[in-house]
A and B are shown apart, each in its own frame.
Chain A
Amino acid sequence: MRAGSREVAESCLDGITMEMVATYCDRLHSSKPDLAARRIEAIGFQVGQQLAERYTRDRPRFTDHLEVIKFICKDFWAEVFKKQIDNLKTNHRGVFVLQDTRFRWLTRISVDSPLTPSEANNTTLAAAQAGGKYLYFPCGLIRGALTNLGVPCAVSAEIAALPACSFIIRIKV
């Protein structure tokens, strides 16, 4: 713990995250999942901007987009999720895929074990849907951080298999 920094229990953050998703997806906008998604993403965007500022206060300016993306993968992710991104891929044309094989907020989600192969398919879909709600905020987080650091972009996420997920960044020219 750095001198002067304060910490609260992780269960508080888990509580707030779950409650934020429940409030927006189940209570406020239960019939409009896209609207709920946009709201949560907007919250993430705000937070991402502010965190980016805080975490880069003592650093010199970034020289190019790749440096910013690497910062997100290493320092930023480590500050927020206590680990780094596991895999970074790019097509060298402005699209980056960040893979987290054990995304912290997905480790708490469980789906009932399937009994038949057809149920197995449904389970994967159910898992993706259940987990997807928890990825709106991190997408916003990444978009906010990148935007504040001079990289305008769009961010989306995919769940391959819990608790692994990928964040896809498309840089806007």
Chain B
Amino acid sequence: MVRQLLTDFEDVEEVNKQLDTMGYNIGIRLIDDFLSKANVTRCSEFRETADVIAKIGFKMFLGVTATVSNWNADFTECSLVLDDNPLVDFVELPETCQGLYYCNVLCGVIRGALEMVSMRTEVKWARDMLRGDDAYELRLKLIEHVAEEYPYKDDD
């Protein structure tokens, strides 16, 4: 699919964006699947959320685990380092695609899933082995908690 997108768009940045959008659309549905199977309670803080994604989420969907690290001072930003990445089996990036984030779908999935549980986030790849780094590291940043909106006001 990534290969086809590259053929259709020819611009690596555009492909990155498409992958992120597709991931987002998948994520907003995947969260229901996760919540129905994972038996987790509501996370009280972002630290817990990151742990749940790393230990339970990744395991459930991709069969791998991630470690959480590199928290910033107020615990709104952290890194998720994957111990393995099944999306990239048999994949090599040619020279013409050096700006590509092959696994950008994952960023969108996490962002979409978290938005459905009221967290607006930014998810980016910090390290990508297909681009020559030594690990797969996602940088997860909480932008804000979004208050849940109810369609009817109580006092109307």
A residues lining the B interface (CB < 8 Å)? 6-9, 11-12, 15-16, 18-20, 22-23, 28, 39, 42-43, 46, 50
Contacts and interface: CB of A to CB of B under 8 A. Distances in A.
Contacts of A42: 4
6 contacts: A15-B29, A16-B1, A16-B26, A19-B25, A20-B22, A46-B3
Interface of B: 1, 3-4, 8, 18, 21-22, 25-26, 29-30, 33, 60-63, 86, 89-90, 105, 109
Nearest to A50: B90
Contact of B4 (A15, A18, A43): A43
B61 A9 contact: yes
Contacts of A39: 4, 8
Contact of B30 (A11, A20, A23, A28): A11
A42 B5 CA distance: 11
Nearest to B59: A9
Given A19-B25, A39-B8, A8 B1 contact: no
A23 B8 contact: no
Nearest to A40: B4
Given A15-B26, A22-B25, A6 B63 contact: yes
A20 to B, nearest CB: 6
A6 B90 CA distance: 13
B26 A8 contact: no
A35 to B, nearest CB: 10
Contacts of B30: 11-12, 15
Given A39-B4, A46-B3, A6 B29 contact: no
Nearest to A46: B3
A8 B4 contact: no
Contacts of A8: 61-63, 86
Contacts of B63: 6-9
B29 to A, nearest CB: 7
